[in-house]
Amino acid sequence: MDLIDRKYRILQAIIDDYILTALPVGSRTISRKYEQKLSSATIRNEMSDLEELGYLDSPHTSAGRVPSNKAYRLYVDRMLRPAPLSVEETAFIRSCFDSRVQQVEEMTTRMAKALSSVTHYTAAVMTRTPRAEQRLSHLQLVPVSERRCLLILVTTSGAVRQHILDLDAPIAPDELYTVSRVLSQKLAGCPLSQLSEELSTLASGTPDAFRGVVSAMAQEAPPAGQDDISSLAVGGRSNLLSYPEYSDVDKAKSLLSVLETKEKIVGLLSQHGEMEFSVRIGPETGLEEMKDCSIVTASYRLSDGRVNTIGLIGPTRMQYGKVLSVLSQVGQSLGEMLEEQNGQP
């Protein structure tokens, strides 16, 4: 057992060192910096074993060793030491959660910017509302031109959606007003996913003059389907260029190109499961372009039903400890902010 413990420690030392330097680490480095009781030769033997076990790779014969993805997996699952944040870092993160920020958009953008600047990785922040939880709170039709009006839907969580309706026949502003009032009352509390259906049903029992409007609404109402992405922001894409793993411009290009594709980012963030944190390493991300990257995601359920998912993207040798500390600090600050918001009714 003692031996195994030693192998463990050596592997951990190698990973720690590699995360720090991005340079293949040799036996001598370990013996000097981490395990002074052992000679480099001993370390070499252990390293040789670790390589055979699949935890280390050697770029070539006379370079040091580099941790494999399997090693990172073990590292994240078992070896992770929390990296405490500095006072400044904590304060900075806190300061980003200003309860007066109203727009979801602005909130996600700020968080993405802040997280990328604290971690020096790329940050992606997404706020979505699971479709099942969205209910109509209020509905309003606003005239825009003679045959065109704006349909505004407000959900119970305070989100606002808007659709332009093209009408078959002109309708007077006052009538739109009446329709809004009636429908608003009838449909309050209706889940968004069933809205279209409800409207169709209502349309048949509506006086001719209004039927056109109501069926136009039924058409434009959001279809049942995936969740609603209320907001997505990515910050610090260019941060990744600092890391030697992307000094190859072609690699960098293909990675940055992925990070420009909204759908792929949403995909990456949506893989997040039930647990609070998730770490995906290299190929586990599921994207060929990201096989040298890791993504750490965290998900927070806000009180109004919205779900906030954060992803930090960096090289596989990213500072997992620090990243997780940052994310849990974010979770804490987020909680405090929401409490404060609800506490000042």
Partner DNA sequence: GTTAGCACTCAATCAGGTCGAGTGCTAATC
Partner DNA sequence: GATTAGCACTCGACCTGATTGAGTGCTAAC
Residues 278 and 315: beta-carbon distance below 8 Å: no
**Choosing among DNA, a second copy, none, which partner's interface includes residue 142 (Cβ < 5 to 8 Å by kind)?**
a second copy
Q: Does 57 bind DNA (CB under 7 A)?
A: no
Q: How far apart are CA 54 and CA 67, in angstroms?
A: 9
How many Å apart are CA 137 and CA 155, to the nearest integer?
5
Q: Which is nearer to DNA, 47 or 323 (CB)?
A: 47
Among 237, 272, 280, 317, binds a second copy (CB under 8 A): 237
Stretch that binds a second copy, among 32-40, 78-86, 89-97, 231-239 (CB under 8 A): 231-239
Q: Say how far apart CA 324 and CA 14 lie, in whole Å.
A: 20
With CB under 5 to 8 Å by kind, the binding choice for 158 among a second copy, DNA, none is a second copy
Question: Rounded to an integer, what distance in angstroms lies between the CA atom of residue 215 and that of residue 178?
Answer: 16
Residue linked to tokens 């480095």 = 29
Structure tokens at 12: 């951990």
Task: Confirm or reject binding of residue 147 to a second copy (CB under 8 A).
Answer: yes
Site string for a second copy, 50-89 (x = CB under 8 A): ----------------------------------------
- Minimum distance from CB of 256 to DNA (Å)? 24
Query: In Å, what is the CA distance from 287 to each residue of 45, 194, 247?
Result: 36, 35, 20
Among 16, 19, 64, 337, binds DNA (CB under 7 A): 64
Range 149-152 contact pairs with CB under 8 angstroms and sequence separation of 24 or more: 149/176, 149/213, 151/217, 151/220
List residues binding a second copy (CB under 8 A). 102-103, 109, 137-138, 140, 142-148, 150, 152, 154, 158, 160, 162-164, 166, 177, 181, 235-238, 241-242, 246-247, 249, 252-253, 256-257, 259-260, 262, 344-345
